[in-house]
Amino acid sequence: MSFAGALNAFRPLTRVSTRLSRKSHTIQRYIAKCNFVRTTRNCKTLQGGRAYSAGSTRAMSNEETAAKAAAAAGMADAGAPTIFDKIISKEIPANIVYEDDLCLAFRDIAPQAPTHVLVIPKIRAGLTQLSKAVPEHKDILGHLLYTAQAVAKSEKLDKGFRIVVNDGEEGCQSVFHLHLHILGGRQLTWPPG
């Protein structure tokens, strides 16, 4: 089935949520579908049963599509609740690897490397994108980076890791709640993108 066909088959599942507008709910479903298609088509299995994406052009195309759809729907400026807000409130299950009063770290559902963990602030406070940071965000930004290195240590990424922040449509940001990606567990290539 083509990606478009899979998306069309998924559309009837879109419902109006009491907490989310129809537009943001549709975008979140669309992003989940992009991740599902990418995961099922492009995964390799690692020792221990975890899967990761081979990082094909199709996967990048899906991320670009999801980012463009989120931007077109006005998700960047809306500050509407995101899927991350539901993970923070434990409405949606996640494989949490670290949590404190300020942030949460959990495994990505469509990993791009053997280890792929997201680190998010628990309170957005207008911090939907790194480019929207203001001086009041300095403390949480520092805490997110410090947490990322602590998580990398706990994940035994002693040979190296990469921290990625996608910002805006052209940066392929599809969830407008600032988050850091920790990638590792294999030799990463350069240049990215």
- The overall longest dimension of the chain from CA atoms, in Å, is 48
**So what's the pLDDT on residue 118?**
98
- Look at residues 61, 25, 87 and name the one whose alpha carbon lies nearest to residue 172: 61
- Look at residues 73, 70, 56, 76 and name the one whose alpha carbon lies nearest to residue 3: 56
What pTM does this model have?
0.67
Between 112 and 8, the more confident residue is: 112
CB atoms < 10 A from the CB of 11, how many?
A: 11
Q: Convert the pLDDT of each residue in 13-55 to its tens digit.
A: 333 233 334 444 444 444 444 444 333 333 333 333 344 344 4
**So what's the pLDDT on residue 158?**
97
**So what's the pLDDT on residue 74?**
64
Q: Which residues are catalytic?
A: 179
Mean pLDDT to the nearest integer, 65-88: 77
